[in-house]
Chains A and B, each alone.
Chain A
């Protein structure tokens, strides 16, 4: 009860940040929309989807998954900032548990990402993306996307707590790009050289992107391989694995602040 209440207070803190500085989340959204436009219209004309299908329709679920993955950056930055400014120490000197601090982060970041998802879906529909499936599938797609974001949260908390200097957030900011692009989020793995395609297919991001495509009834760009039959299962499993690894690591990193 106390944990939940403290977690909610921490979430409210983040929501108050938005009200105070609305430009920060708005800028994040504009960035995602810009990426969507760059890939959809600038590069999109030169890209064909294996197995056929419109590129915008192929791209959009991938962009949704990509933006969930990029969320790791904002989580890590927020954690590192609080640690650097001594706010984490103040929380730690108060009678509130580490789970409350984490819960606040979860509440705030998930709310932020849900809004982002909603805006990107609207933006996609405006530029010609179409959903051709039933509402339960659409709901499952959204849940799987947020599930990926949830896993990214723990990576972000772990990185933000473990490497508190500016270097850590910089590293995350740089690393999300190659990791994000080495997936099926933007292009099909089948257009890549064989070995690279294999790596991309095993990227957790690819599982979520492919599952979202399948569930939205969009072209998947996949004709064979594990993603052809089991994308939804992989999109459930990958974030579970990541959470199982990074949640305990985050808890450990928080405890290690006492070392």
Chain B
């Protein structure tokens, strides 16, 4: 069964079409990535699914309940972790979690028990009494995520959870998200970081201009943008444009030059690798480096979003 569905969601702010036929289907218990450039409508989509905004048209369900007609039922089953660390900065970590637990209807003693569990899981027990304003960015984010998990939601919305975090804090958040999904919670993760989606998400929806323009596993998306790539890094004394022209004739594919890396990249199949080597040989060039690789998600993303803008 699908934990999240959206069918043709429309949302207009003035002249801006924030959502323009947004579709989604996410099965239970997986991490689904929502990827897109700034202003693609990711946050609007999350807000619509989390019952924070009314859409103009379309239908959506969360955990089997209609977001428009059954908002209270939806709210009992979701956790929302927005772009701001939405916790009370004056209070301590424990006070925050107890407060949110009680607001969800737990008794004070149950809320305390749950708070202790979450503090332990997120490594915040020692800092539990301190005011949140003294926490590091990563700690604050972890508390924010813990606050979204007070009721072990069926669906968790994570809107750019690692923006502004250092790599170590980011890894900690990733680990938490994996554990949450492993316990059966469906996670909708929006992000601008492709490696984040690549690392975490089972499937990815690429968004642009308020709608989904591609959907699939990270590998499927990478395959959509074409074959493997060969990157040749040349010695610095070799003129890049001169070689680019002659080598692309030999390979039969255009070269993409990277001046900083002093490298040329060709989008070709495995068989064409020999052509590159032969071409280099003819030019009597000894490359610094020669790599055959799959397209990255970045390349897939750029190709997809560029195509949709045109």
Contacts and interface: CB of A to CB of B under 8 A. Distances in A.
A is bound by B: yes
Interface stretch (A25-33, A93-101, A169-177): A93-101
Interface string A1-17: 01000100110110011
B163 interface: no
A86 B100 contact: no
Contact of B86 (A2, A17, A87): A87
Nearest to A88: B86
A90 B104 CA distance: 12
A13 B103 CA distance: 11
A96 to B, nearest CB: 6
A95 B52 contact: no
Interface in A76-90: 84-87, 89-90
B170 interface: no
Contact of B54 (A13, A91, A258): A258
B237 to A, nearest CB: 54
Given A86-B82, A86-B84, A93-B75, A9 B53 contact: no
Interface string B173-189: 00000000000000000
A86 B88 contact: no
A2 B87 CA distance: 22
A84 B83 CA distance: 11
A259 interface: yes
B304 interface: no
B99 A259 contact: no
B104 A85 contact: no
Contact of B52 (A6, A84, A93): A93
Given A94-B104, A95-B104, A16 B95 contact: yes
Contacts of B86: 85-87, 89-90
B75 A17 contact: no
B238 to A, nearest CB: 53
Interface string A82-124: 0011110111111110001000000000000000000000000
A230 to B, nearest CB: 44
Nearest to B48: A258
A87 B99 contact: no
Nearest to B71: A95
A258 B53 contact: yes
A95 B76 contact: yes
A90 B51 CA distance: 11
B179 to A, nearest CB: 21
30 contacts: A9-B102, A12-B99, A16-B90, A16-B95, A17-B91, A20-B90, A20-B131, A84-B84, A85-B84, A85-B89, A86-B86, A87-B86, A87-B88, A89-B47, A90-B80, A90-B82, A90-B86, A91-B103, A92-B51, A92-B52, A93-B50, A93-B75, A93-B80, A94-B103, A95-B72, A95-B76, A95-B105, A96-B103, A258-B54, A259-B53
Interface pairs A-B: 3 shortest CB-CB: A86-B86, A86-B84, A93-B80
Interface of B: 47, 50-54, 72, 75-76, 78-80, 82-92, 95, 99-100, 102-105, 131, 147
Interface of A: 2, 6, 9-10, 12-13, 16-17, 20-21, 84-87, 89-96, 100, 257-259
